[in-house]
Structure 1
Amino acid sequence: MPELMIYQSKGEGELFVEQFLQQLTPIASDEVTTTVTIDANQTFQEMDGFGASFTDSSAYLINQVLDNEQRTDLMSKLFDPEDGIGLSVLRNPMGASDYARDLYSYDDLPEHETDMELTQFTISHDEEDIIPLLQKALELNPEIKLMASPWSAPGWMKTSGSMIAGELKKEYYQAYADYFVRYIQAYASHGLVTHAVTPQNEPLFEPMHYPSMLMLAEPQSDFIRNYLKPNFVRNNIDTKILCYDHNWDRPDYPLTVLEGAQEEVDGVAWHWYGGNATAQTEVHQVFSNKEVHFTEGSGGEWIPPFEQAFSNVIRTGIDILRNYSKSFVLWNMALDEHNGPTVPGFGQSTCRGIVQINQQTKELTYTLDYYALAHFSKFIRPKAVRIDSTSSQDLIRSVAFRNTDQSIAIVLFNDAEKAENVAVNLQGTDMLTFRLESKSALSIKINNNISDISVS
């Protein structure tokens, strides 16, 4: 057996975060095994990467509550590909979301005033915490791609007159398209390139206790086709436009948008709060030239930690990747001991951050989401291409990629209620056999030299 590097999370709540060398116990040839076969000749999507969001709340906690030493160590553990888990996609709110300390857009006005020329536009709010953290993240990992999504247009553009609920008024479609251009240009002035935007976060959800904006499929198609994309072209902006940005249970929405604005849309963004990841493939089969992205999924108190919650992130992450997604992005990078801060009037939050930062004690805790993301992001690097992986037993879940250095990364999860013996075969050759505990994740990296295998 080869000597293996272990970096493993187990479903019983034990987190092995130290890397060490260990011999795996050989499995007798007559023992029943589940075979996972990797075929590098069958290829699928190219990865952008894995990540989360520097919401206003997350950025405040990391930049203002942590001390310099804590912040430096955390940023390294999040973004450094060698010393950390190498997160490479950041999807941030354009203005306030539910996880912000107050309501704000980039062009707030007194009631009944308008600003068609956006003379009051400013990203000064983001310059305090969010932009410095984005810049530091890019220093640690230059391969990071930035995405942006608004929870609401400025209130004066909407039927509600507020960032809470309402729809975008038709007469402000051009001003809103200009708003996106100003945001992209302002961020670019700080050395931050916006890789992709969506016109609206969760456009079919209109909560009354945090920023939101209803945007049905036909209006979104109209806005993208006749205002947003032409504005990008006029201003020489090559930022990608992703439609939808909502749950798997309404694939009809992106299908409608793509039918009406196919040439102007680069892909579809998905969330996991309803439906099944197979919706990604359903739309991909109709519009195979459009990118698939998973842009938001939060863990929280609705699934008990550790095993159930950890298993859910790993299991669902594998499904997301097997259904053509180029990204796997969770929600808040950091929340406090009360799962906040949240906007005034939000009530009790049940979401979980990638890390928890206690505002009273300043204690920093890495949550199960950090370790779940690590199983993907540590070895599946940007521009990796998904390759075929099949398992002889459905409860041994797998996904595999070939990195640009030609190394092969495989993520496995035992969803069975008992330990299973597993054999991983690459191109028909027995590479490795091992015992995989119930509800445990294992990530394997096979380098150019086939005998050089590391397991995470």
Structure 2
Amino acid sequence: MKAQSYTTTPDLKTPFAQTTSSSHKLRTIQESENYLFVNPSSVRHEIIGIGGAITDASAVVYDGCSSEMKAKIMQAYFDPEYGLGYSVVRTTVHSCDFSPESYCYVKEGDKELKSFSIEHDLQYRIPMIQDAIATARHNLMIYASPRSPPAWMKTNKSLYQGGSLLPKYHDTRAQYLLRFIQEYEKVGINLRGLTIQNEAAASQRRESCLYTAQEEIVFALEHLRPVLDQAGYENLKLIGRDHNRDYMYQRAIAYQEYLDTHPELPVNALRGIGYHRYETRSNSKELYPTISDMARDFPEFALVFTEGCQEGFDAKRLYDRSIGRRYSASLIRDLQQGTCLRTDWNIVLDMNGGPNHADNKCFAPLHVFPEYDIIHFTPSYYHIGHISRWVTPESHIIGINASKSHLISLAAQRPDGKIVIVVSNKEDISHEYHIVLDQEVITLTIPPLAIQTTVIEF
């Protein structure tokens, strides 16, 4: 058994630094020591991929960069050998808060969608997605999330402040989303998934729309799904919820009750349930136990982390190591407990945490200063990378158990048979720990507040 380890410390001086380890046969367990017991026979869910969002904001910032900076950004994220190996991209259906301005794809009141055009996206967003596809060697799973129907389709006649989709426009809205998929396909962007509505329970001062669980499932499965299927998109995955962990379980119950009473629907009519991590606005902590509850009680739904970021941009916190640790803790816990796909929010923003027409600015793993050809690689970039670089698509999460609470850990077995162990040290002191696998022991030391990835080959 051979092992190679990589470590990133909070000072970021040598990210992904190769780390020495020792190995020996398992002898007596010492209760005072840290052990990670790995169980490859406990095979859990498959990982679809890890990635980030290409929004209008990211695309506008990217467009303002030099060709050299653009190449570095693409390589940093999407190159499978030298970057983070991102395999997923999320984008939006027309504008969102992370757009310089609000817009739609049709003219006011165009019920027949004769004016439908994605010309706006051809300037910035589509070229950036095309660059990502090329850098990833065409191995990208791309999906989209709508923020609001056009204002004239809604009860409040506004893109903002919630409002609901008028029932008389259910079919028009479904055709609108179909046209988006078709027009993107014409420029070489093949969407493989669509969330029904971003944050459907939040009335916001930006693009938003409200759906009850019943309204959401009726629109999705009685109007949108048939339109997609009839147009040949039977394999495009629909994802419900797309909001925080706090009411995921309630939505899942509603979805399941509907599906149980409509046996004529295809098995995968609704493929997954998406979620964000912003429940901390009304909770003191992220609700990780919800993910294990969902995986246990609703195994038919894929659990998809569709968005998450560090809110409240402040340039003074650009290298705040706690932001990176929050990222990796969230990734490790969610993936270990049942999440199969993980998408960060904006992949790159400017030095003000935007642009954002709603002044809702946030952090990204990369922030750029194009005027000086500067790219800031923040701690979150490296913390994500400790998982995305080595836990590749089609890996399976496997069992792992820690003997002490100092460390949080993730275990996965890749398609090539190698086992990946990711460990994050929560404490401001070093810890020696022992990975126990098949009566073999690998001993490592993790520095204070560091993250470490070990790849084991038999």
CA change 1:15–1:47 in 2 (3 A) is: farther
User: In the alignment, is residue 312 of structure 1 matched against residue 326 of structure 2?
Assistant: yes
Alignment of 1:95-114 (within 5 A): 95-109=94-108, 114=109
Shift of 1:107: 1.8
- Alignment partner, residue 143 of structure 1: 139
Kept in 1, the 8 Å contact 2:5–2:21? The answer is: no
User: Which amino acid letter does the alignment assign opposite residue 268 of structure 1?
Assistant: I
Kept in 2, the 8 Å contact 1:379–1:409? The answer is: yes
Kept in 1, the 8 Å contact 2:197–2:241? The answer is: yes
Shift of 1:5: 5.4
Shift of 1:412: 0.7
Deviations 1:28-61 (A, max 9, x none): 9989421111111111111111111111000111
Cα distance in 1, alignment partners of residues 120 and 430 from structure 2: 51
- Alignment partner, residue 283 of structure 1: 294
CA change 1:3–1:273 in 2 (3 A) is: closer
Alignment of 1:434-453 (within 5 A): 434-447=444-457, 450=458
Alignment counterpart, residue 16 of structure 1, candidates 14, 17, 20: 14
CA change 1:227–1:352 in 2 (3 A) is: same
Kept in 2, the 8 Å contact 1:419–1:438? The answer is: yes
User: In the alignment, is residue 79 of structure 1 matched against residue 90 of structure 2?
Assistant: no
Shift of 1:280: 2.3
Identical columns (%): 24
Kept in 2, the 8 Å contact 1:90–1:144? The answer is: yes
- Alignment partner, residue 266 of structure 1: 271
User: Which amino acid letter does the alignment assign opposite residue 233 of structure 1?
Assistant: D
Alignment counterpart, residue 324 of structure 1, candidates 324, 338, 362: 338
Deviations 1:363-390 (A, max 9, x none): 2211222111101110011111111111
Kept in 2, the 8 Å contact 1:32–1:421? The answer is: no
User: In the alignment, is residue 128 of structure 1 matched against residue 97 of structure 2?
Assistant: no
Cα distance in 2, alignment partners of residues 425 and 435 from structure 1: 14
SS at match of 1:185: helix
Alignment counterpart, residue 249 of structure 1, candidates 246, 249, 257: 246
User: In the alignment, is residue 218 of structure 1 matched against residue 214 of structure 2?
Assistant: yes
- Alignment partner, residue 358 of structure 1: 369
Deviations 1:251-301 (A, max 9, x none): 212321332246421010011111512212323323212111111111234
CA change 1:24–1:404 in 2 (3 A) is: closer
Cα distance in 2, alignment partners of residues 302 and 412 from structure 1: 27
User: In the alignment, is residue 376 of structure 1 matched against residue 384 of structure 2?
Assistant: no
User: Which amino acid letter does the alignment assign opposite residue 120 of structure 2?
Assistant: H
User: Which amino acid letter does the alignment assign opposite residue 270 of structure 2?
Assistant: V
Alignment of 1:24-63 (within 5 A): 24=21, 32-62=32-62
What is the TM-score of this pair, normalised by structure 2?
0.89
Kept in 2, the 8 Å contact 1:354–1:369? The answer is: yes
- Alignment partner, residue 453 of structure 1: none
Cα distance in 2, alignment partners of residues 45 and 420 from structure 1: 30
SS at match of 1:249: helix
Computed over aligned residues only, the root mean square deviation of the Cα atoms, in angstroms, reads 2.3
- Alignment partner, residue 283 of structure 2: none
Kept in 2, the 8 Å contact 1:150–1:200? The answer is: yes
Cα distance in 2, alignment partners of residues 18 and 284 from structure 1: 31
- Alignment partner, residue 437 of structure 2: 426
SS at match of 2:372: coil
Cα distance in 2, alignment partners of residues 323 and 39 from structure 1: 15
- Alignment partner, residue 116 of structure 1: 111
- The count of residues paired between Structure 1 and Structure 2 equals 435
Deviations 1:81-127 (A, max 9, x none): 10111011111111111110100122242xxxx22221111111111
Cα distance in 2, alignment partners of residues 3 and 392 from structure 1: 21
- Alignment partner, residue 193 of structure 1: 190
Alignment of 1:204-243 (within 5 A): 204-208=201-205, 210-237=206-233, 238-243=235-240
Kept in 2, the 8 Å contact 1:225–1:261? The answer is: no
- Alignment partner, residue 175 of structure 1: 172
Cα distance in 1, alignment partners of residues 22 and 41 from structure 2: 31
Kept in 2, the 8 Å contact 1:280–1:323? The answer is: yes
Cα distance in 2, alignment partners of residues 333 and 244 from structure 1: 22
User: Which amino acid letter does the alignment assign opposite residue 291 of structure 1?
Assistant: A
Cα distance in 2, alignment partners of residues 211 and 278 from structure 1: 30
User: Which amino acid letter does the alignment assign opposite residue 446 of structure 1?
Assistant: I
CA change 1:18–1:216 in 2 (3 A) is: closer
Shift of 1:26: 8.8
Stretch deviating more after TM superposition (45-54 or 134-143): 134-143
SS at match of 2:200: coil
- Alignment partner, residue 405 of structure 2: 394
- Alignment partner, residue 263 of structure 2: none
Kept in 1, the 8 Å contact 2:423–2:453? The answer is: yes
Cα distance in 1, alignment partners of residues 338 and 86 from structure 2: 19
Deviations 1:381-409 (A, max 9, x none): 11111111111113311111111111111
- Alignment partner, residue 418 of structure 2: 407
Unmatched segments (≥5 aa) in structure 2: 261-266, 280-285
Kept in 2, the 8 Å contact 1:221–1:258? The answer is: no
Deviations 1:392-438 (A, max 9, x none): 113311111111111111111112343221001112321x1011123
Cα distance in 2, alignment partners of residues 2 and 46 from structure 1: 24
Cα distance in 2, alignment partners of residues 90 and 380 from structure 1: 17
CA change 1:358–1:429 in 2 (3 A) is: same
